[in-house]
Structure 1
Amino acid sequence: KDRILFYVKSNQYVWNEVCEEITKNDLHKRFKKQDERGYYTTIPLHAPGVTQKGESGQEWNGLKPPEGRHWRCSLNELDKLEKAGLIEWSKNGVPRKKVYAKDCKGKKIQDIWEFKDTQSPMYPTQKNNAMLKRIIQMSSNVDSLVMDCFCGSGGFLRESFLLGRNFIGIDESKEAIKINQ
């Protein structure tokens, strides 16, 4: 098992939220409701925490957020959601935002990743290309410069190239240098 740690030396860094594809099974589990616009689910319009003086704790449509919570968005945004038909009112009179399956960009990636090691590695420490691709997508942008100080089989360099990144590969092993030429 490998551990991947993300370190930065300043508050100016790249971190892109990358999502996994949603399977049909996931879609059917998550988006059970349907209306004329398609399949959807609902999420609360309030979030934990209280506001001291901000509008997110104020009354909207005759309702205040529950105790210890505040509106997830501005009152103006709540009005827009209501006008667009994107609020569903529960039997108890609680407003919830409609989120449609067609607008879902994927599942947010969690902290624990499960990637199988390469079955027939060209190099002893070769990593799964899909895992390398995810790391590159999350921690760099197109045209960024990425560096692999232990490039081994060159998987990280190859994925960097395919994703439009500039790259530098270093390794002290002559075998690694031969593989990467």
Structure 2
Amino acid sequence: MKNIIEKYRLRYDKLNSYGEKKSNNIIIHGDNRIALDLLKDKYKSSVKCIYIDPPYNNGEVYNHYEDDKEHEHWISEITNVLVSLKELMRDDASIWISIDDSEVHYLKVAADKVFGRKNFVTTIIWQHRTTRENRSTFSNNHEYILVYAKEYQKFKNVRNLLPNTEEVLKRYKNPDNDLRGPWQSVTAHVQSGHAVESQFYEIVSPNGKIHKLPPGRCWAYNKERMEHEIKDNNIWFGRDGNGVPRIKKFLCDKKDGITPQTLWLAEEVGTTKCAKKHILKLFTEGKVFDTPKPETLIKRILEIASNENELILDCYLGSGTTAAVAHKMKRHYIGIERGVQAFNLIVPRLKKVIDGEEEGITEQVQWQGGGGYEYYEVEDIKKDEA
């Protein structure tokens, strides 16, 4: 690290900075490995959520780069970046890594070594396209997002639920006009693998009907508890009183949100195609990214993994989606990009966001503009002095 600090520095660029001063939002143009080392002193253990969309090493040629390296070189490079990122993460932080089939399994092994297998959270399956690719052996319609925590339990304790959806709320009804309001029912018997003796008995419903357990099942409560729940009208026996007993779960008792699932469909979080349409609306001239991520995808990640005013980092910023979404969602952010898109895509995009850009997630989060960011260049000190 000492050698990096002696050779390089971050030079503030007033021309490419924009909006309010001291916003705690930073865009850096330069090699991410150097930039991350330069950030360690100030931002060690400060970042709440990291999202990265590194080159997939899938052999494709894109507008802004060729995605084709020797595997060993690619895996070594990404591992070094992960090591640097881990130092910047808070103990309750998480990192989300987009990848496809080309390197996903190798990346999983590499990330296991950096973060520890116990800190692997899950693999998200994202439906990145809805059309069929007939030229391929298989039409590949999904990508992956590997999710790791710095410390699994601490992340689990602070991870946010997703907002309740209309589909979820429609499940709650009130057929018996219960004064506690809408409810839905869940099964009253469960698998008996770890059951105790007190969970095996017959239930007598209020109308006298006897309900016996199916084979391999036990009641969720012991007999005393079940009788208490029936008395308190917390067990539903159907409209005619003869139905299989089910437990009533009330909307008023439900946590304000739903547990995230690992399958993210296009209709929920968007596709590469819709993301590219968004970018093309912003930039009618010049080359844009071939495979940008939709703002709705990044929004979901930030909803789960962060809160307002917490720090987000993306060191493969690309077309600037992570920074744009973090800005609209009132998070602070650090974005790093080594290519020319730092100043010909990211800078103009963030200026549009600050000025109140109306596309992407703007309406969903009621974004109206404001804020700012500071722009820095990774600078070779000796070269500059020469």
Do these two structures clear the TM 0.5 threshold for a shared fold by scoring above it? yes
1:94 is aligned, of 220, 244, 248, to 244
SS, match of residue 35 in structure 1: coil
Per-residue deviation, residues 64-87 of structure 1 (Å, max 9, x unmatched):
754323344576764564344221
Per-residue deviation, residues 33-89 of structure 1 (Å, max 9, x unmatched):
62224554421122224325485x254856775432334457676456434422112
Q: 1:140 to 1:106 in 2, by over 3 A?
A: closer
Question: Counterpart in 1 of 2:136?
Answer: none
Deviation at 1:109, TM superposition (A): 5.0
Q: Which amino acid aligns with 1:151?
A: L
Question: Counterpart in 2 of 1:51?
Answer: 194
- 1:136 aligned onto 2:302: yes
Q: 1:39 to 1:52 in 2, by over 3 A?
A: closer
Q: Which amino acid aligns with 2:191?
A: P
SS, match of residue 97 in structure 1: strand
Whether the aligned pair in 2 keeps the contact of 1:150 and 1:170 (CA below 8 Å) is yes
SS, match of residue 298 in structure 2: helix
Question: Counterpart in 2 of 1:173?
Answer: 339
SS, match of residue 146 in structure 2: coil
Q: Which has the higher contact order (CA 8 A, sep 6+)?
A: 2
Q: Which amino acid aligns with 1:16?
A: N
> 1 or 2, which has the higher helix percentage?
2
Superposed CA RMSD = 3.7
Question: Counterpart in 2 of 1:127?
Answer: 293
SS, match of residue 148 in structure 2: coil
Aligned length: 177
Structure 2 unaligned spans of 5+: 1-127, 129-142, 205-210, 283-287, 348-374, 376-386
SS, match of residue 94 in structure 1: coil
Deviation at 1:134, TM superposition (A): 0.5
Whether the aligned pair in 1 keeps the contact of 2:161 and 2:258 (CA below 8 Å) is no
Question: Counterpart in 2 of 1:157?
Answer: 323
SS, match of residue 144 in structure 2: coil
- 1:17 aligned onto 2:161: yes
Q: Which amino acid aligns with 2:218?
A: H
Whether the aligned pair in 2 keeps the contact of 1:19 and 1:108 (CA below 8 Å) is no
SS, match of residue 175 in structure 2: strand
Q: Rg: which structure is higher?
A: 2
Deviation at 1:152, TM superposition (A): 2.4
* Matches of 2:224 and 2:162, distance apart in 1: 30
* Matches of 1:159 and 1:120, distance apart in 2: 13
